[in-house]
Structure 1
Amino acid sequence: MDPNDDRGESRLYIGNLDLRITEAALLKMFSPYGKIISEDFLWHTRGPKRGEPRGFAFIQYSTKEEAELAKEKMHGRLACGRPLFVRLAGEKFMLETADNSTKAAGEGHKMHLTGGGGAMGQTSRHAKIAAIKNKLKSLEEESSRSKKQKRSDNIS
């Protein structure tokens, strides 16, 4: 068995982290489930958000069993009001490869829509993020419009 596969099975991806969650808080939340041997807390390295958390991290446990226990206990748990998204780091790779082989087999014509190639999972994730940002922006604009509306109602 490939040692890299092993590492993926004991490594967790943790997403949907509230930006107020610190590295220390994350480690404290996940340490009850096993021995954490490494942790990657991702930060923006450039742009206007440089130095701010990116909202996801990876935690490496010493065994696959510890990682699976942590995944089972922590996936969907609320942290700062947001449900955590926890999965084995290797799962994403397996899903993307399965997705790519299906697309290549009979749906090549659709690949242009998603960007095709090996970055398909990445592209759809970016598309989802963009959609969420647009939704938030429209909600904020709607909120500010309704506040202005209320102010003008009070004036007349």
Structure 2
Amino acid sequence: MIKYVTFGIAISFISWIVGMICNSMLIQTKYYEKLSNLNFITSKSLNTYIGLNYFKWIVKNTPFRFFNQKIRLQNKKAELTEIRKEMTIAEVSHLIGFIFVTSIALYKGFSDNYLFAILISLVNIPMNLYPALLQQENKRRIDRFRKRIE
């Protein structure tokens, strides 16, 4: 069972690279604008219910905070449009990674072992889906702030 979880963690880290590569190709298409405004969960209470606040705390207070320095507010003069763009890149990359790992989990579930697929999926959710949902929430916060300024 430990090897299944280890494989899930490894494939999730690999999926980050796959997501970045696919995103760099996708960013040049006309469909990317539609992808930049995705909102899967718009309800703040549902985000709280699924534990997104706990996930946000983990990202802010562990070494994960050092992963993407481009989406940090360093000072009050930060360009919100640029930060939102970087958040979109991170969000779409994580979504691509989520789909990549989900397809591997489905393959393993049908061909090898359904427990293997479940454990891969349980690792994939916090490694890829939650970061994408967190980016969506942060982009909504930036959009609300920009509307107040205007």
Q: Normalising to structure 2: TM-score of the pair?
A: 0.27
Q: Which has the higher helix share?
A: 2
Q: Which has the higher strand share?
A: 1
RCO greater where, 1 or 2, for CA within 8 Å and sep 6 or more? Answer: 2
State which structure, 1 or 2, has the greater radius of gyration over its C-alpha atoms: 1
